[in-house]
Amino acid sequence: MRPLSLFAILLVAASTTLAAQTKSKKTPAPKTITLTGCVAEDAAKNLTIDDESGSYKLSGMSVRDYVGQQVQLAGSVYESKKLVIKGGLLPTPNLAAQAGAVDQTQIANETHGGSAPTGDVQLPEFRVKSIRPLGTGCK
């Protein structure tokens, strides 16, 4: 009788664990926001908008017809869940190759100096759901 009661306890514990795992957490829908700014095209042919809150790469609805114009866009900021691996020698390939032959002060200045980011800067992605032209050109 004892092995049967132990089996029943284990069965109940496993079923409650399984039931807890099958309950899916619904992710909340992205919050809709509006951006007002000038639509531009960068060197890589990506469409961007500069808003008072920052710059965004545009996706979703096509806004190519509005390049160079002031628009109001409604949509949401998309955040990718993908793993991004960036490689390279830091601070620069030249300094990395010189190993210990370089002044450490120079390395520190090149590694931490300046406020502008270096390399491939990725803008946050804004998924456009609606477009409202404001009828003015960009400055």
Q: In this predicted model, which residue has the larger pLDDT, 71 or 115?
A: 71
Q: What is the pLDDT of residues 13-70, one digit of tens each?
A: 766 665 555 555 666 666 888 999 999 888 778 899 988 888 889 988 888 899 888 9
Whether residue 38 is contained in a domain is answered as yes
Q: How confident is the model at residue 5 (pLDDT cuts 50, 70, 90)?
A: confident
Q: Is residue 83 part of a domain?
A: yes
Distance (Å, rounded) from C-alpha 95 to C-alpha 40?
36
Residue 3 lies in a domain: no
- CATH code, domain carrying 97: 2.40.50
% of the chain with per-residue pLDDT over 70: 57
Give the structural domain span for 80: 30-112+122-137
Number of domains in the chain: 1
CA–CA separation, 35 and 58 (whole Å): 11
In this structure, is residue 62 part of a structural domain? Answer: yes
Both tokens of 88, joined, read: 């390279």
